[in-house]
Amino acid sequence: MSLIAAVVSDLTSPVSWQDEAEQQGGASKAYEMAVPSDNLSSEPERLDVTKAQIAKRLINQFVEGQKGPDVTGYRTARQEAERVDDTIGSQKTTKPWETSPVVRPVNWTRANTFSALQEWEGEILAVENEHIAVSLVDLTARKRRATEHTRIPLSEINEQDLPRLAKGRVFRWAIGYLRLKSGTKKRVSNIVFRDLPRWTQRDFSDAKADAAKLLRFLGTDGAGAEPRDAESGEG
Amino acid sequence: MEQVQNLAMQNPAKDEIDVVVIGPGFGECILIHIGAGEWIVIDSCVDSSSERPAAIVYLEKIGVDPSQAVKLVCASHWHDDHVGAMAELVGACTAADFACSAALSRSEFVELASVLNRNLSLIQPAGPTEIYNVLNILEQRRQVPLRVVANLPFFRRPELSCVVTALSPSNTEFDRFLRSATALYPPLTTSKSLRVPDPKPNDLSVAMWVTIGDVHILLGADVEEHGDSHRGWSAILASKADRTRARLFKIAHHGSITGHHDDIWGIMLESNPHAVLTPWNRGSKLPTAADRDRIMSFTGHAFATSRPVSAREKKKGSAVDRTLTEANITIQDLEPPTGFVHFCMKPGGPTWNVTLSPEALTLDKYVA
């Protein structure tokens, strides 16, 4: 019989559950734990906390029973370590290997982070021998259009982007601080040329569909609101 | 040359005619007080310090509520420099009609704008997207735009004796634009990483004749001359029936030679009229020295809304500047502060009172 089947067999036996629950001083249920049943199409049985504790104990018993002669040497080494600990004076009431493993949450903040001091969106106006001439929209200043120009040395462009430089190419440029996981802080400048999808006939037909509602309102296609005359009737 | 003062911004009197021409070196916006606290706004540009519509910034500074006072917003055409933040302006002017060339509500343009609206990079041409957003705002309000065609008045205020009449585009220009609209689509199989080229033709530019009582104002927008009697200024001059003459001229196309026609000055304007232009400070700058001299030969009352500022180094903060210095990079700021010229005509007054913002200047001082 498999481990799971054995545990389920013990847990789902009404006599054994009742006895165990009484020994545990009554049950109560902060939450339920699902146990898979043999019949995969039915809802798994729901067990309460008391039963979860019982399951844990039974599993530990099963595991202990499966251990072979090597366990003896392992236990001896552990006992030696305990004596050293006892000598030092630390009183450990439980040993780490006797409790369930604790899952610690991953520290997602321990990753590289970038905080931008200045960002632009830009367009290449010309590709020269050692520079690109660009116009820039200052995003940090919340500008709505290009109000700045400059020439950027090709040495500032990533190598893989150099073959793709062309007049009209749009890019993003950010200057800021990069903080590494190790805590190091570096000032960086990063120019990114995004490869956006190409214009397709589908774009045009979708845009036409979007415009259709507006055109119906404008009455351009002979339907919808009546257009006003060029002579306003105001006043 | 009249006494030109620095501008003390204030709300005009109810019977005064005020014309404020705003031009930051990229873009233009014209506000006209037509009387009784009512304003009309022609075109829109972005105020360089606040990044908001320049018209809204000006009106708020003189204590005018744009949501009540503005009765008409008109886009002379759809190029970026004439519709900067236009959607935000229309959104704020809830009591205003919106007028534009009839071609901009045709399917050829609306579908083109819808395509370009799908690539929302800030570096892309914004003109079609702004008009598209304006039309969507109007659709939400269930407010159909006023469709402007040549030689028809499109805005009237009889109690103020105010009429605004479109002088262009001609039928030929209208048809030319609709036929060429498909050429403005981004080519299939090109990447959206590439900026869509700026659309060039000014075929749809709407020149306007504004009449308030016995005062006439000619707004030239970006109309150009092609030597074709069916297009540009030749078509306008051929169709202008009456002989009234304007006292104030917003010079066409940033004062360029392509926006010039001798008969504008000889037939459409009074002798020695007041004239104002908005410079173009990108690429091939306008006006050139020759343009300045030509305009000065027609009038001694010419003004520019901003100075020809050469690109100046822009500082970004010590850490960013250190990075730029290490890479031998200098950021050049192309945009001068937003300036404007203010013309005021009091009732029965013989001429305009002119005041200039600190950034504006008389054209004779403009060093191209």
Q: pLDDT for B174-184, tens place per residue?
A: 999 888 888 88
Contact B176, B48 (CB under 8 A): no
Confidence (pLDDT) at A65:
73
What would the mean pLDDT of B264-271 be, rounded to a whole number?
95
> Do residues B31 and B58 make contact, with C-beta atoms less than 8 angstroms apart?
yes
Q: Which residue of B has its CA nearest to A148?
A: B333
Cβ-defined contact of A135 to B332 (cutoff 8 Å): no
CB of B40 closer than 8 Å to CB of B70: yes
CB contact under 8 A, B320 and A175: yes
Most confident residue range from A181-185, B119-123, B152-156:
B152-156
A/B interface, count of CB pairs below 8 Å: 195
Which residues fall within 8 angstroms of residue A68, CB to CB, at 6 or more apart?
A: none
Contacts of B80 in chain A (CB under 8 A): 145
Structure tokens at B159: 């109690």
pLDDT at A234 over 80: no
Report the candidate in B70, B77, B115 with the shortest Cα–Cα distance to residue B97. B70
Which of the residues B138, B193, B326 would you substitute to probe the A interface, choosing the one with the greatest number of A C-beta atoms within 10 Å?
B193
By Cβ distance, the residue of B46, B105, B192 closest to A218 is B105
Instruction: Work out the minimum CA distance from B365 to partner chain A, whole angstroms.
Output: 25
From A117's Cα to the closest Cα of chain B, the distance in A is 7
Please state whether the peptide bond connecting residue B287 to the residue before it is cis, i.e. omega within 30 degrees of 0. Answer: yes
CB contact under 8 A, B335 and A198: no
ipTM over 0.85: no
- Count of all residues that appear for chain A in the document: 235
Mean pLDDT of A80-100: 58
Worst-scoring range by mean pLDDT, A213-217, B71-75, B312-316? B312-316
In chain A, residues with a C-beta closer than 8 Å to the C-beta of B26 are 145, 147
Other Cβ atoms less than 10 A from the Cβ of B358: the count is 10
Q: Which residue has the tokens 């520290």?
A: A107
The reported pLDDT for the residue numbered A87 is: 53
In the DSSP assignment, the letter for residue A44 is: P
- Å between B353 CA and nearest CA of chain A: 29
Chain A's closest residue to B102, CA to CA, is A230
| Whole-number average pLDDT of chain A | 71
Chain centroid to CA B47 = 13
The yes-or-no verdict on residue A216 having pLDDT over 80 is yes
Q: How confident is the model at residue B333 (pLDDT cuts 50, 70, 90)?
A: confident
Listed residue (B329, B274, B334) closest to B300, CA to CA:
B274
Report how far apart, in Å, the C-alpha atoms of A110 and of each of A106, A107, A180, A182, B282 are.
Answer: 9, 6, 8, 8, 47
| Chain B residues in contact with A178 (beta carbon < 8 A) | none
| More confident: B211 or A42 | B211
- The Cα of B367 is separated from the nearest Cα of chain A by a number of Å equal to 21
**Among candidates A142, A187, A204 on the partner chain, residue whose Cβ is nearest the Cβ of B51:** A142
When mean pLDDT is compared across A1-5, A102-106, A170-174, the lowest value belongs to: A1-5
pLDDT number for residue B279: 93
Question: How many CB atoms are closer than 10 A to CB B181?
Answer: 19
pLDDT of A78: 57
| Residues B329, A150: C-beta atoms closer than 8 Å | yes
Task: Select the residue of B107, B193, B329 nearest A220 (Cβ to Cβ).
Answer: B107
Confidence (pLDDT) at A93 = 58
pLDDT (average), residues B76-104: 94
CB contact under 8 A, B110 and A211: yes
User: What are the DSSP calls for A98-149, one per residue?
Assistant: GSPPPPPPP-TTSS-EEEEEEEEEEEEEEE-SSEEEEEEEETTTT-SS--EE
Cβ(B301)–Cβ(B273) below 8 Å = yes
Nearest Cα to Cα of residue B19 among B340, B325, B363:
B340
- Contact B139/A214, CB-based, under 8 Å? yes
Of the candidates A144, A187, A207, the beta carbon closest to that of B111 is on: A207
Strand positions, DSSP E, chain A? 33-35, 45-47, 113-127, 131-138, 148-153, 170-179, 185-192
Question: Is residue B364 scored above 60 in pLDDT?
Answer: yes
Residues of chain A contacting B73 with CB distance shorter than 8 Å: none
Residue A29 has pLDDT above 50, yes or no: no
Residue in this structure with the two tokens 């009765």, named with its chain if needed: B71
Which of B48, B154, B187 shows the shortest C-beta gap to A231? B154
Burial category of B243 from C-beta neighbours within 10 Å (exposed 0-12, middle 13-18, buried 19 and up): exposed
Task: Check residue A83 and give its pLDDT.
Answer: 59
Residue B120, chain A, CB below 8 Å: the answer is no
- Percent of chain B as helix, strand, coil, to the nearest 5: 30, 25, 45
- Contact criterion met (CB < 8 Å) for B193 and A151: no
Residues B209 and B165 sit within 8 Å (Cβ to Cβ):
yes
Angle at B300 between CA B297 and CA B303, to 5 degrees: 105
Choice among A99-108, B95-104, B331-340, B356-365 with the minimum mean pLDDT:
A99-108
What is residue A194's predicted lDDT score, i.e. its pLDDT?
79
pLDDT at A58: 81
Q: What is d(CA B35, CA B57) in angstroms, rounded to the nearest whole number?
A: 20
Question: Does residue B243 surpass a pLDDT of 90?
Answer: no
> For an interface test with A, which of B144, B155, B321, B324 has the most A Cβ atoms less than 10 Å from its Cβ?
B144
What is the arithmetic mean of pLDDT over A125-152? 91
Tokens encoding B273: 């009229």
- Residue A106: pLDDT band with limits 50, 70, 90: low
Q: How many CB atoms lie within 10 A of CB B196?
A: 21
Task: Give the integer Cα–Cα distance in Å for A141 and B320.
Answer: 14
Cβ-Cβ contacts under 8 Å, B193 against chain A: 169-170, 193-196
Inform me whether the pLDDT recorded for B64 exceeds 90: yes
Residue type, B52: R
Q: Cβ separation of B324 and A199 shorter than 8 Å?
A: no
- Cβ A135–B123 below 8 Å, yes or no? yes
Q: Are strands B361-362 and B301-304 parallel, antiparallel or unpaired?
A: antiparallel
Span B138-151, average pLDDT: 94
| pLDDT value of residue A177 | 93
Do B74 and B43 form a contact (C-beta atoms < 8 A)?
yes
For residue range A49-72, what is the model confidence (pLDDT) as tens digits? 677 777 788 888 877 776 554 445
Strands A185-192 and A170-179: antiparallel
pLDDT for the residue B291: 96
Instruction: Collect all residues of chain A within an 8 Å Cβ-Cβ radius of residue B157.
Output: 234-235
Helix (H, G, I), strand (E, B) or coil at A171: strand
DSSP result, B160-205: GTEEEEE----HHHHHHHHHHGGGGSPPTTSBTTBPPPPP---TT-
Q: Compare all CA atoms of chain B with the CA of A118 and give the residue at the minimum distance.
A: B320
Residue B157 contacts residue B38 (beta carbons within 8 Å): yes
A234 interaction partners in chain B (CB closer than 8 Å): 71, 97, 155-157
Which 230-289 residues of chain B touch chain A by CB within 8 A?
Answer: none
B107:A215 CB<8 A: yes
C-beta of residue A169 within 8 angstroms of C-beta of residue A193: yes
With beta carbons less than 8 A apart as the criterion, state whether B216 and B243 touch: no
CB spacing of A175 vs B194 below 8 angstroms: no
Asked if pLDDT for residue A22 goes beyond 50, the answer is no
Q: How confident is the model over B24-47, as a mean pLDDT?
A: 94
In chain A, what residues touch B51 (CB-CB under 8 Å)? 141-144
> Nearest-CA neighbor of B223 among B247, B239, B211?
B239
